[in-house]
Amino acid sequence: MFRLWAKEFLDNRLIKDMTIENDTPETRTHKVFQALEDVCYAFDLEKPIWLETNISEFQRHARTRFTQDNFVEQTPFDFLEIQVIEED
């Protein structure tokens, strides 16, 4: 079972969160991108742009934050954090 936790923060307070589960035989990368797409759809957001800092942070810690710099449109939060909480 693969589970990803997504959280929106505004003024250091959690304003929205959700957990995505994926049981498909896909690769970890595909599961992460699919989960992020599901989160963006549920939160009514555009998909964020992965910058080098996001990639390296996610590879090291299985967690990253997307700030306003990662989105083209204005966001109603300070950052979106994703974290892998369970892997096969």
Measured between alpha carbons, how far is 31 from 20 in angstroms, rounded to an integer?
10
Measured between alpha carbons, how far is 32 from 84 in angstroms, rounded to an integer?
8
What pLDDT, on the 0 to 100 scale, is given for residue 88? 76
Measured between alpha carbons, how far is 11 from 24 in angstroms, rounded to an integer?
36
Can you list the residues of the chain whose pLDDT is less than 50? none
Measured between alpha carbons, how far is 2 from 22 in angstroms, rounded to an integer?
5
Measured between alpha carbons, how far is 23 from 3 in angstroms, rounded to an integer?
9
Does this model's pTM top 0.85? My answer is yes
What pLDDT, on the 0 to 100 scale, is given for residue 79? 96
